[in-house]
Structure 1
């Protein structure tokens, strides 16, 4: 999906920034008593992962894995969502792409290439540049805090069912607590979970690196935001407006959880997407000039 040149850009730009986020923003803001336990956490950036969205941790070695392709994929998805919003294009086309690639395992090009969007042209648009950066950075920071949570909570890999879900919800709670300490808006979380649900719509944990996405897990995050929206906005320039945006994210996540819990949605929704937003229209859906 990505070239060596794409990965080189990830390693030159994203990897150092993520290392800084880990050390300064996450570990540096842990309660003082937890910081010694986090001192040995390290990040590695393999070229590929087991899927386009594959971020995972090994608590035994205190190692967090962020594949270069997954970082670039999330960046592309953030840019895609922001560009479609900026140009008022039909977002259902993005859902078709995510379903076709992540669930139906179709052999598709990377997000921007599939939609004939030139990255440089798209990011020259001020709205696209600003919104995509917020989606991308907050989603990555949430994922990274989630993986730190797995390590500090000493979770085990390879679990299935309720035990796996319990670990995921606990790691999500850890990440939410991190954002609350920062008072930062988690703008990218709903976008990430839309994609993650297509990758694992049944919430089935089948390997050490799996992160089952269930309706209960998404709903728990939504409830966490909705219960105290100001906790996630007190550092914003306009905390009151920030709290409104947090409430909006909570509603988006609650809607995603409700759809995911609906009987038959996994079979009915793709049928509607294929009918209304077919893969054949990707190239003309919202291209850059």
Structure 2
């Protein structure tokens, strides 16, 4: 089970934002993750590619700087054949997955999570890391079986989807720094490449919903801003993902121990993704939602939304 990813640590330029995690936390993320990332990338992804793609894929390398351009920043450089997974982004996504699972386990209000993600990712406010912001002790949260199991599934499948997506950019010969319709076309094609990978495995990319639930806050609200984005999380992109999951749920479950149960879950995840696409296509709701979140969940209240007993 993949909980954190790192391989061949290569530090890039100086950090672009304040450090969210301590050096010990970053070191632990790297040390605990290296064997998993090597296995997932080489065995699960490269090992299951169509044979004609394997020679080119074998030239792709993974590099993990400490930080990216935002707390949730995964990207590829097709020309260099490099996939970048910043350690901070890996830890941030793990925190977000843990947060979603803990809030559901404890029957707390999930709106507080959206308020945090909006303030941190869209507004760039200097909030602490997700678990610290919510006053959640990681060890205490992981002692809850539901939280540990569900967050692990979100992280493992979510990061594997992102890895396959970024590999798709490279193998599909995509160009970097594209914007507008061409950028959206490339993102949809890379998503399809990642979904093809999960179909070959017969597994569900469960984490894709929670990843995009967070990542869409990085995009501007209006269409003009989305067109200027190099990695737009557009309604069309999310709707295309949803249609693929709901159109043939068994394609994403035939490799599981209980395919029919997993197919039902795939259909449910697809429906949730479809709802997300509808939400981010509603400009009126998008402009109103931040006002409501800021009113109902100011930063000082988030810490009391669903804390653990430390």
Shift of 1:275: 2.5
Distance 2:53 2:168 in 1: 11
Look up the SS of the partner of 1:43 in the other structure: strand
Equivalent in the alignment of 1:179: 198
Shift of 1:201: 4.2
Equivalent in the alignment of 1:253: 273
CA RMSD of aligned residues (A): 1.2
1:128-277 correspondence runs (5 A) = 128-202=147-221, 204=226, 210-277=230-297
Equivalent in the alignment of 2:11: none
For the pair 1:286 / 2:303, whether they are aligned, the reply is no
**1:148-186 CA distance string (max 9 Å, x none):** 000000100111100000000000000000001111111
Equivalent in the alignment of 1:88: 107
1:2-41 correspondence runs (5 A) = 2-41=21-60
Q: Scaled by the length of structure 2, what TM-score is found?
A: 0.90
Look up the SS of the partner of 1:285 in the other structure: coil
Distance 1:81 1:148 in 2: 27
**1:4-32 CA distance string (max 9 Å, x none):** 11110111112331222111110100011
For the pair 1:61 / 2:80, whether they are aligned, the reply is yes
Distance 2:35 2:61 in 1: 12
Alignment partner of 2:96 out of 55, 65, 77: 77
Distance 1:30 1:116 in 2: 42
> Would you say the 8 A contact 1:42–1:62 is kept in 2?
yes
> Would you say the 8 A contact 2:181–2:227 is kept in 1?
no
Shift of 1:265: 2.4
Look up the SS of the partner of 2:76 in the other structure: strand
Distance 1:3 1:44 in 2: 20
Alignment partner of 2:131 out of 112, 120, 130: 112
Which deviates the most, 231-240 or 64-73?
231-240
Distance 1:77 1:92 in 2: 13
Shift of 1:276: 2.7
Distance 2:130 2:34 in 1: 21
> Would you say the 8 A contact 1:15–1:45 is kept in 2?
no
> Would you say the 8 A contact 2:180–2:228 is kept in 1?
no
Which deviates the most, 171-180 or 194-203?
194-203
What 5-or-longer segments of structure 2 have no aligned partner?
A: 1-19
Alignment partner of 2:65 out of 37, 46, 53: 46
Q: Scaled by the length of structure 1, what TM-score is found?
A: 0.96
Shift of 1:187: 1.2
Distance 2:226 2:95 in 1: 26
**1:32-82 CA distance string (max 9 Å, x none):** 111111011110010010001110001111100000000000000011011
